Amino acid sequence: MIAVLQRVSEASVTIENEIKGEIQNGLMILLGIEEADNEEDIEWLNRKIINMRIFNDENGVMNKSLLDIAGEILLISQFTLHASTKKGNRPSYIKAAKPDIAIPLYEKMLNSLDFAIPTKIQSGEFGADMKVSLVNDGPVTIILDSKDKK
């Protein structure tokens, strides 16, 4: 799994002109799932996401986690994170998991995060045409890859 974490002061996702989810202070996360992903990837990402010290403390130093600030999460499925651009100019998405694998893993990730933090978890809709808006705070953007553990 690949997760792109963006520290935000606000974020929202709109589907068919209706706001599906919105948060204030926290993380907007794009999540890409590949065929080889499983619950171990979810557990590793979950620990990293909720404990990553990327929020400012009282001295302006990134020393606080999502848990420390009682931050919110907006989780968006994003199969294009697994795009291969090695050949030609049209990306290939062959590594991206098909819906029968990706949807249950996406839902498990959503439930895992919801269980791990006491604040609001919002999400997009798997496979929908979504419009995502955010104010990246910092900007701070971190990419996590559960296969490389980085």
Q: Give the three-class secondary structure for 16.
A: coil
Q: How far is CA 139 from CA 9, 27, 136, in A?
A: 10, 12, 5
DSSP string, 35-70: TT--HHHHHHHHHHHHH---EE-TTS-EEE-HHHHT
Q: How far apart are CA 71 and CA 8, in angstroms?
A: 10
| Strand, coil or helix: 119 | coil
Q: Which of 80, 85, 119, 141 is catalytic?
A: 80
Q: How far apart are the first and last CA of the chain?
A: 11
Catalytic: 80?
yes
Taking residue 70's Cβ as centre, other Cβ atoms within 10 Å add up to 12
What are the catalytic residues? 80
